[in-house]
Chain A
Amino acid sequence: MPLDRRDFLKYSALAVAATSGMPGFLARAATQATGQKTLVVIQLTGGNDGLNTLIPYSNGAYYAARPTIAIPKKDVLTLGPDLGMHPSLKPLMGLWDAGQLAWMENIGYPNPNRSHFASMAIWHTADPTQAQAEGWIGRIAEKIGDPFCASNIGSSTPQALRAAEFSLPSIDAVDNFQVKLPAGLEGAFGAMLDAPRSGEADYLVRATRQMMSNTQKVQANVGKYKAGATYPEGKFATQLKDAARLIASGTGQRILYVSLGGFDTHAGQRGEQDELLATLASGLAAFQTDLERQGVAERVVVMGFSEFGRRVAENDSAGTDHGQGSVMFALGKGVKGGIHGDSPDLEDLSLGDIKYKQDFRGVYAGALTGWLGLNARDILGGDFKGPQWLA
């Protein structure tokens, strides 16, 4: 395979990573990808109840179906004559008012699956037939030939970030990473770089030195980062802070992936979901403020999803069971704020669930083509239309 200069640099970076144990995102930084746009994917694990997130507060059928867990009209954060947000999402109202928060209604996929594992796999692989094992982000890495183009912030890499032959890295704690050669190899590595070379080998040595220099600068930037916002306590907010830190430090990842779990609200939903949505909103509000103050908000958008929504009617445990369609959200300066799509018809249901109208792959396609500048068809294996949620 002939290598052009860019490929040469890229693979050299990988070679350095492979030989020095350099963390992947720092090696990625050596390809000088700063300035590129970043997509931050938020996974709400467990099946977030869309109807109590984006609330059809003018619809009597909503209140009839949920006598104890519906959000009272007086508490809804009004977005329009029919829809409003859960009160726990108040920290996001500023972004809504600024036109930087988008909600996508009625999102799902054909032949909905109510299993957490199966449905999450469908969202991760972007394949409702469940024929593919590779994640949609893993396929991006394969298509562009860059196994460091995305990272999960957390300890366990989701299927979305797995490719056929490798898995994109998970970063559990940014502070734990450093450029460090295996003990005892520093001298040998230096001697190897100092040895006189010519031709292609000389070029590779110079490229390696340059990449190590760039990487150290990025690492220094990671160390110098000062949060531009006060993040709330908790794991989710800490992970968002790490994401902001990586972006501000110029590590160059195209996609960062953060998860918030606990949305499987079979019982006592108000207690569980109210708290989780508050965690979500306060974390994202701080993240966006931080990006603004770091001067990088223009090149970051956030896209959030959950593996399914929940049934329209509440159950006998003051909760809701696994459903089908739900809402997605996006926020950032690059987002076209507003409600995209029609609200579900709560009097025309499918086995007690809302009937989805928008395939989630259409929303992914927007992110891939409109934000990351990639060929969505290549990644998703087909053409999927979606709402125009990017500005």
Chain B
Amino acid sequence: MVGLRFTEKHVLGGLIALLVLTAPAALALPKYRLQAITQFHLDDGSGLAALDRRVMSCSYCHVKESGGAPWNPFGEAIRATFKANAEAGGKAKFPEILSILLKSEQDADGDTYPDALEVWAKTLPGDAESKPTEPLETVQAEFEAAGGVGQFGPQETEKK
């Protein structure tokens, strides 16, 4: 190709094919959802769980599927935990707040199944209509045998 003439347009156009055009993900993947998916062990390791709203939709914590205000009872419990932590001078981040909340044995939606138990049973802790079908004592025993609330502790995050 030595000897060929290059016009600006040809050179620039040719480079299109050579440069790696990596479009940033134009998907809304709120970081709290991604952190919760990891912390609740809902990621099967494929990396696709983050993209699959069936794994954890926004209504896990929010009233609307699009997120934002208002929040369901579990979302409100998270917010209240953040506020209480800050008022006490704490600087806990989302994973720690989730852990604090689940350890508190609250039942945000009032369906008699504590939030941690519902997380483990994969029912919705912010929706009283969603709850395990087994009796509370049975589920509680299975949950404790499976490691209890300790399995939902904060996960290590990559340093930015």
Instruction: Report yes or no: B32 in contact with A267, Cβ–Cβ below 8 A.
Output: yes
One of A1, A145, A169 near B20 (C-beta < 8 A): A169
Q: A117-B26, A204-B3 are in contact. Are A268 and B97 (CB under 8 A)?
A: yes
One of B8, B24, B79 near A317 (C-beta < 8 A): B79
Asked if A64 is an interface residue, CB under 8 A from chain B, the answer is no
CB neighbours of B4 from chain A (8 A): 15
Instruction: Report yes or no: A261 in contact with B6, Cβ–Cβ below 8 A.
Output: no
Question: Which of chain A's residues 7-41 have a Cβ closer than 8 Å to chain B?
Answer: 11-12, 14-15, 17-19, 21, 24
Please choose the segment from B9-17, B43-51, B116-124, B129-137 that sits at the chain A interface, where 4 or more of its residues have CB less than 8 A away: B9-17
A73-103 vs B, Cβ < 8 Å mask (1 yes, 0 no) = 0000000000000000000000000000000
Please choose the segment from B84-92, B103-111, B141-149 that sits at the chain A interface, where 4 or more of its residues have CB less than 8 A away: B84-92
Q: A1-B8, A166-B19, A272-B93 are in contact. Are A193 and B2 (CB under 8 A)?
A: yes
CB neighbours of B13 from chain A (8 A): 165-166
Asked if B22 is an interface residue, CB under 8 A from chain A, the answer is yes
Asked if B7 is an interface residue, CB under 8 A from chain A, the answer is yes
Instruction: Report yes or no: A145 in contact with B31, Cβ–Cβ below 8 A.
Output: no
One of B1, B7, B24 near A156 (C-beta < 8 A): B24
Instruction: Report yes or no: B91 in contact with A204, Cβ–Cβ below 8 A.
Output: no
One of A24, A170, A208, A272 near B22 (C-beta < 8 A): A170
Instruction: Report yes or no: A235 in contact with B158, Cβ–Cβ below 8 A.
Output: yes
Instruction: Report yes or no: A261 in contact with B160, Cβ–Cβ below 8 A.
Output: yes
Chain B CB within 10 Å, residue with most, of A21, A208, A235, A317: A317
Size bracket of the A interface: 35 or more
Asked if B82 is an interface residue, CB under 8 A from chain A, the answer is yes
B72-84 vs A, Cβ < 8 Å mask (1 yes, 0 no) = 0000001110110
Q: Give Cα A208–Cα B6 distance, bound, in whole angstroms.
A: 14
Q: A267-B79, A267-B94, A318-B82 are in contact. Are A165 and B12 (CB under 8 A)?
A: yes
Size of the B side of the interface (Cβ < 8 Å), in residues, is 43
Instruction: Report yes or no: A268 in contact with B16, Cβ–Cβ below 8 A.
Output: no
Asked if B54 is an interface residue, CB under 8 A from chain A, the answer is no
Instruction: Report yes or no: B18 in contact with A318, Cβ–Cβ below 8 A.
Output: no
Q: A155-B22, A158-B24, A234-B159 are in contact. Are A267 and B97 (CB under 8 A)?
A: yes
CB neighbours of A267 from chain B (8 A): 32, 78-79, 82, 94, 97
Q: Give Cα A69–Cα B83 distance, bound, in whole angstroms.
A: 10
How far does the Cβ of A285 sit from chain B's closest Cβ, in whole Å? Answer: 16
Chain A CB within 10 Å, residue with most, of B14, B79, B93, B160: B160
Q: A18-B18, A68-B87, A166-B15 are in contact. Are A197 and B2 (CB under 8 A)?
A: yes
One of B26, B79, B92, B160 near A271 (C-beta < 8 A): B92
One of A15, A204, A236, A268 near B85 (C-beta < 8 A): A268
How far does the Cβ of A306 sit from chain B's closest Cβ, in whole Å? Answer: 15
Instruction: Report yes or no: A234 in contact with B79, Cβ–Cβ below 8 A.
Output: no
Q: A68-B87, A157-B21, A271-B93 are in contact. Are A147 and B15 (CB under 8 A)?
A: yes
Q: Give Cα A236–Cα B94 distance, bound, in whole angstroms.
A: 21
One of B1, B2, B31, B85 near A262 (C-beta < 8 A): B31
Question: Which of chain A's residues 303-340 have a Cβ closer than 8 Å to chain B?
Answer: 316-319
Chain A CB within 10 Å, residue with most, of B25, B94, B159: B159
Chain B residue with the shortest CB-CB distance to A13: B11
CB neighbours of B22 from chain A (8 A): 155-157, 170
One of B19, B82, B96 near A319 (C-beta < 8 A): B82
Instruction: Report yes or no: B83 in contact with A68, Cβ–Cβ below 8 A.
Output: yes
Chain B residue with the shortest CB-CB distance to A67: B87
Q: Give Cα A1–Cα B15 distance, bound, in whole angstroms.
A: 19
Instruction: Report yes or no: B91 in contact with A147, Cβ–Cβ below 8 A.
Output: no
Question: What are the 4 closest A-B residue pairs judged by CB atoms, nearest first?
Answer: A318-B86, A271-B91, A68-B86, A234-B159
Known contacts A157-B22, A267-B79; 8 additional CB pairs below 8 A are A147-B19, A156-B22, A193-B2, A200-B3, A201-B3, A236-B160, A268-B82, A268-B85
| 9 residue pairs from A and B, CB less than 8 Å apart | A18-B14, A68-B87, A156-B23, A157-B21, A166-B13, A168-B19, A268-B92, A317-B83, A318-B83
Binding site for A on B (CB under 8 A): 1-4, 6-9, 11-16, 18-26, 31-32, 78-80, 82-83, 85-87, 90-94, 96-97, 158-160
